[in-house]
Chain A
Amino acid sequence: MTAKKAGVRPGTVLDPAEPDGPRDTAWQRAKDGYRIVSPLNRRKFSVIVVGTGLAGAGAAATLAELGYDVTSVTYHDTPRRAHSVAAQGGINAARAKKVDNDSISRFVTDTVKGGDFRGRESEAFRLAEESARVIDHMNAIGAPFAREYGGSLNTRSFGGVQVSRTYYTRGQTGQQLQVAAASDLARQVRAGRVKQYVRHEMVDLIVKDGRACGVVVRSLLTGELKPLMAHAVVLATGGYGNIYFRSTLAKNSNASASWRAHRRGAHMAMPSFIQFHPTALPISSEWQSKTILMSESLRNDGRIWVPKDPADARPANDIPEEDRDYYLERKYPAFGNLTPRDVASRAAKEQIDSGHGVGPLKNSVYLDFRDAIARLGKKEIAARYGNLFHMYTDATGEDPYTVPMRIAPGAHFTMGGLWADYQLQTSIPGLFVAGEAGFSYHGANRLGANSLLSACVDGFFTIPYTVPNYLADKLGQELVSTDDPAVTQAMEDSYARFDRLLAIGGTRPPRDFHRDLGEVLYAGCGVARTKKGLMEAIAKIRAIRADFYRDLHIAGPVDRVNQELEYAGRVEDYLELAELMCVDALEREESCGAHFREEYRSETGEAKRDDSTWAAILAWGTDSWEGTPAFIRHVEPLNFDAVPLVVRDYR
């Protein structure tokens, strides 16, 4: 690979620090080799965990339980509201309790292959191995998983796999896991083992002598900035799909914690790998603030189709069978409506782009339960999906029991994130990353229900081994003093940043810039990408950024609640990350998973990987954002041992 584009400079080859030898036993061997801190010494170490989603709440609660001095930070008013709460469909686990022939190796194969061979195989093994414990733990601390009539755990199947390994609680799996994890954390807070900062946003990372030693947080109530010091910092700050303005994410989800860490030297891996969820609700009004997600589990029983004739204006139920195109079942008979997300999203976009889209704006496809209701009865369908149907009715005013739902691809999950090694340590020693904020497991496409699992595994079962391993040889090391120049500099930088934003004194609120950015990204770096489109997007992003610094308007003061100022800081970071996303997508001259470069496709029109060049992780450093940014491209070669490289084919 050669760095050939303007602004891109070659960097180093990164070492994931995986254990040598066979991957199926790597995690056990890694754990055997990790150092531990003796119980009496643990309270001498401070760890900051930013984020209280499944990854953050899990990490904070578990480190506290072990005896470390833990500080937990979230911008929510209470940990339970972290975005993990919104996940619906379920959580995978390779417990292999059924006779459908599931196994750890099948889980690994599905995960690696689902990710189109652009994730680490070794990490998929860890996910699979710890998955059984995750279910046990979450069950024990109060998540009421769905049960069979006889009392054992129930499972359902999800896109991209042919076995049933997804554990769920109705359509509220994320909520039940999140509430359980947040209460685990609440127990530690009440016991005095965790110091909790709510309504505080991390606005910078503090690095001294190349090591992470604290964070700067800003009170969202008073605007006060404060340094928090620790021996190690864990970022569990979630994904940044919200960069597209309209996404399935919560409105406050953002990239700032990761981006600020990146600005302090942490590499950002594969930022352009964004999953577009095939079953989001279409946009229906200009002021619509997001795209609501309908759980993928609906694809178990719903059939996706469009009218064969683009001009067919009949109501869905009046269109007879022969005039319908069940395009997923037609193109992918083996997986049908359960093809992986990237395939389903791309197929939907093709239908919409070719004029077959349905609905008033012709921007969606049908997800039809007519046949399932005829087969199973309305009651059974209501039991399976009742709350999702209710939500759909709330959002659209339509009744999915009688007319098909309408769905469209929406920006969803970020497979990219801060680069980290097998220990979840970023390129800054002492800075760890957990959950969606990291990058490692999912490759170029996340399989449904693997993300709640990865957040839980990171939080409850990886961080508690790897952070102590890092701390073990630092006994006696004092916390960096808040008078240290590294700290005062970070504080000054943060003050200066907010002052600068407030001083622009233009006319446009931050949301306007975000909305423009979202449009540019959907068009240029969305479900499909081209070289030309990406170059155009970069130019437009730069123009929006220039406008932002010229014309941003922030109403209100700095010293009490100011949601416009919060928003502006997040948009500022998005505007930089967005350019890096396009550079990343431009650089990767192949198609894989959610990254579909139209120039690289097979004879049948499917994504075409180039393993000889691109079986690698690109992890970026950047600098010179004040002028023309420079992009330093580090590479981690990937190799596959247990799952041989094959072309993904879901036919």
Chain B
Amino acid sequence: MRLTVRVWRQATPTGAGRFETHSVEGLEPSMSVLELLDKMNHDIALEGGEPVVFESDCREGICGACGIVVNGRPHGPIKRTPACHQRLSSFADGSTVTIEPFRSGAYPVIGDLMVERAGLTEIMQAGGHVQVAAGTAPEADQDRITYSEAEEALDFAACIGCGACVAACPNGSANLFLGAKLAHLAKLPIPAAERGSRAAAMVEEADRIFGPCSLHGECAEVCPAGIPLVAVSWVNRERLRRGVLGRDS
């Protein structure tokens, strides 16, 4: 198959960007959108041009490195699927596909389709962890966690940290990411012991970097890990719990 690709080119973080158009042939519907970029970059390199910069690593939908906006949607047209699993079968042969970087105030463009998502790491550094030193942990079977509690924790823990939720949000809020983390850790007995101070620290950091949520719900639509929208309510729940009860655990 053949596709016309309109792709965002921006050499430096501060320079101006523009769309560039390429016609790419010899494609298969089973290829991923990233493999389309591979093929296009191969063509560009052979013509002596500079290949388009984009990020990916595992190409299995788990590392969260990939992330681009395809035809206006973070990751691409198929709901809840990361860019590395978006297939060209979504597009009609001969059609035009527009590819841009994630757009958000908190995501400066580094080059072409690559953006800086360090804000998410900063939220984790602020409090997304547990104060247990190696070698001091109690026996894991000692605290019983029922099957369903563990499964619920897992539903939230599935976040791959891709940051698409931020790119999809009209406010640029990271509350889906943040809420998922807070819920995951609050549901497990040992991490829950610090849930109050964790929430205070993480919410403050997220507000500073990404700003608040006004429940548009776009985030959950694009989330490749299927984090449910209810995760955002955990942000307020945990914040209030800390504020009203003043409790840590």
Q: How many contacts A-B (CB < 8 Å)?
A: 223
A360-412 contacts to B (CB < 8 Å): 391, 394-397
Q: Which residues of B contact A (CB under 8 A)?
A: 11-12, 27-28, 30-32, 34-35, 38-39, 41-42, 44-46, 48-51, 53, 55-65, 81, 85, 87, 89, 110-111, 114, 116-118, 120-121, 124-126, 128-135, 137-141, 144-147, 149-150, 153-154, 157-158, 160-161, 184-185, 187-188, 190-191
* Interface assignment of A183: CB less than 8 Å from any CB of chain B: yes
Given known A-B contacts A76-B65, A290-B59, A394-B85, A147 and B150 have beta carbons under 8 A apart: yes
Which residues does chain A contribute within 8 Å of B51, judged by CB atoms? 509, 555-556, 563-564
Nearest 5 CB-CB pairs, A to B? A151-B144, A140-B137, A139-B140, A183-B129, A187-B129
A291 → B minimal CB distance (Å): 10
Binary flags per residue of A70-108, CB closer than 8 Å to B gives 1, else 0:
000000111111010110000000000100000000000
Contact A140 B140, beta carbon cutoff 8 Å: yes
Complex CA distance for A176 and B225, rounded to whole angstroms: 13
Complex CA distance for A182 and B128, rounded to whole angstroms: 10
B138 → A minimal CB distance (Å): 7
Contact B63 A77, beta carbon cutoff 8 Å: no
A137 → B minimal CB distance (Å): 5
* Interface assignment of A331: CB less than 8 Å from any CB of chain B: no
Which residues does chain A contribute within 8 Å of B150, judged by CB atoms? 144-147
Contact B28 A285, beta carbon cutoff 8 Å: yes
Given known A-B contacts A65-B134, A221-B110, A251-B57, A144 and B154 have beta carbons under 8 A apart: yes
The dominant DSSP class at the B interface is loop
Residue of B nearest to A564 (CB): B51
Can you list 15 contacts pairing A with B, beta carbon distance less than 8 Å?
Answer: A65-B133, A76-B57, A80-B121, A137-B132, A140-B190, A142-B188, A147-B149, A289-B38, A461-B134, A461-B135, A464-B134, A511-B38, A555-B50, A561-B53, A564-B45
Beyond A58-B134, A133-B137, A142-B157, 8 additional contacts (C-beta under 8 Å) are: A77-B116, A81-B57, A85-B64, A136-B139, A140-B191, A141-B191, A147-B147, A150-B146
Which residues does chain B contribute within 8 Å of A189, judged by CB atoms? 125
Contact A149 B50, beta carbon cutoff 8 Å: no
Complex CA distance for A187 and B124, rounded to whole angstroms: 8
A354 → B minimal CB distance (Å): 26
Binary flags per residue of A118-158, CB closer than 8 Å to B gives 1, else 0:
00000000000000010111011110111111111100000
Contact B138 A83, beta carbon cutoff 8 Å: no
Which residues does chain A contribute within 8 Å of B126, judged by CB atoms? 190
Select one of A79, A151, A284 contacting B145, CB under 8 A. Answer: A151
Given known A-B contacts A141-B129, A183-B124, A564-B51, A86 and B58 have beta carbons under 8 A apart: yes
Contact A62 B65, beta carbon cutoff 8 Å: no
Contact A85 B62, beta carbon cutoff 8 Å: yes
Complex CA distance for A152 and B202, rounded to whole angstroms: 30
Contact B129 A186, beta carbon cutoff 8 Å: yes
Complex CA distance for A58 and B133, rounded to whole angstroms: 11
* Interface assignment of A342: CB less than 8 Å from any CB of chain B: no
Which residues does chain A contribute within 8 Å of B89, judged by CB atoms? 397
Which residues does chain A contribute within 8 Å of B120, judged by CB atoms? 78
- The interface on chain A, measured as residues whose beta carbon lies within 8 A of the other chain's beta carbons, has a size of 79
Q: Which of A35-43, A167-175, A470-478 lies at the interface with chain B?
A: A167-175
Residue of B nearest to A190 (CB): B125
Complex CA distance for A250 and B125, rounded to whole angstroms: 25
Complex CA distance for A285 and B28, rounded to whole angstroms: 7
Select one of A65, A152, A286, A395 contacting B141, CB under 8 A. Answer: A152
* Interface assignment of A482: CB less than 8 Å from any CB of chain B: no
Given known A-B contacts A144-B154, A145-B150, A560-B111, A284 and B30 have beta carbons under 8 A apart: yes
Given known A-B contacts A140-B140, A145-B140, A287-B31, A179 and B58 have beta carbons under 8 A apart: no
Given known A-B contacts A140-B138, A289-B38, A564-B51, A83 and B63 have beta carbons under 8 A apart: yes
Complex CA distance for A396 and B140, rounded to whole angstroms: 38
A20 → B minimal CB distance (Å): 26
B201 → A minimal CB distance (Å): 9
Which residues does chain B contribute within 8 Å of A286, judged by CB atoms? 28
* Interface assignment of A288: CB less than 8 Å from any CB of chain B: yes
Complex CA distance for A621 and B241, rounded to whole angstroms: 61
Which residues does chain A contribute within 8 Å of B131, judged by CB atoms? 187
Contact A85 B147, beta carbon cutoff 8 Å: no
Complex CA distance for A133 and B50, rounded to whole angstroms: 50
Which residues does chain A contribute within 8 Å of B139, judged by CB atoms? 136
* Interface assignment of A453: CB less than 8 Å from any CB of chain B: no
Residue of B nearest to A141 (CB): B130
Given known A-B contacts A153-B141, A175-B62, A251-B57, A78 and B128 have beta carbons under 8 A apart: no
* Interface assignment of A184: CB less than 8 Å from any CB of chain B: yes
Complex CA distance for A396 and B121, rounded to whole angstroms: 33
Contact B137 A139, beta carbon cutoff 8 Å: yes
Select one of B11, B55, B130, B135 contacting A133, CB under 8 A. Answer: B135
A499 → B minimal CB distance (Å): 18
A366 → B minimal CB distance (Å): 19
